[in-house]
Amino acid sequence: MSRDVNDKIDKFKAMVDSMSLTERETLDINLMVSAPEKVIPGTADEFIYGCLTEESGTLEFCVPSCINGYKPSGMAKCELTIYQRRDGKITCINNKKSDKAYLYISQDDPETLTKREIDRIHNKDKVNELYIYKQSNEGVRHEHIDTLILSHKKQSQNTSAGFVIFLFIVFILLIIITIFAFYNIMKLNITQSNKIH
């Protein structure tokens, strides 16, 4: 964001911090009534109105502009893991951990995820359901583009591989024991045979 935008946001924050609860509730109502239809990303409007834009298929307070922006009094906090892909990089923007997560992709970034990105989200962050949204041409609004149900197949494959290795080791040990037993039996037979002669 530009210096001018940051200055406007800082002035807005200072104004809100100095308000009483009644004044804040009045401000929230006025903001809801005056919210523009299209909020442009990277502007002070995104910070101020981000939580007031209606999103389809997602919780309004879980969109990036709301997490990073002004929240009307009484608005719930987002308890889901929220990722944002901007400039090719995926980051968690709210430091929450949940098995269900939203990924918001900026307008200029590709919609597809690499296997490495999916593995990191699933294995490191323990996400099982990932709802993917792409920023639309309508400002800060997002459109649902995909849902990934991430399973634990990789772990079960590792478990299967471990079991096969265990069986292989047991098989080798059985062969060694059999050879050792056969050797001792043969040695015993030779010794008994020599005693007879």
pLDDT in tens, 35-91: 887 788 778 888 888 887 666 566 668 888 888 888 888 888 888 999 999 899 999
Q: Are residues 142 and 164 in the same domain?
A: no
Strands 81-86 vs 100-105: parallel, antiparallel or unpaired: parallel
Query: Judging by beta carbons within 10 Å of its beta carbon (0-12, 13-18, 19+), is residue 99 exposed, middle or buried?
Result: middle
Q: Are residues 138 and 173 in the same domain?
A: no
Range of the domain at 167: 153-197
Q: Are residues 106 and 163 in the same domain?
A: no
Q: Are residues 157 and 143 in the same domain?
A: no
Q: Are residues 53 and 77 in the same domain?
A: yes
Q: Are residues 71 and 13 in the same domain?
A: yes
Token representation of residue 115: 């296997």
Alpha carbons 61 and 71: distance in angstroms, whole number: 8
Q: What integer pLDDT is reported at residue 176 of this predicted model? A: 93
Q: Are residues 123 and 192 in the same domain?
A: no
Q: Are residues 43 and 113 in the same domain?
A: yes
Q: Are residues 90 and 8 in the same domain?
A: yes
Q: Are residues 10 and 100 in the same domain?
A: yes
CA 114: distance to chain centroid?
13
Q: What integer pLDDT is reported at residue 49 of this predicted model? A: 84
Q: Are residues 94 and 129 in the same domain?
A: yes
Low-confidence ranges of the chain (pLDDT < 50): 154-156
Q: How many domains does the chain have?
A: 2
Q: Are residues 130 and 170 in the same domain?
A: no
What count of residues does the chain have?
197
Q: What integer pLDDT is reported at residue 155 of this predicted model? A: 47
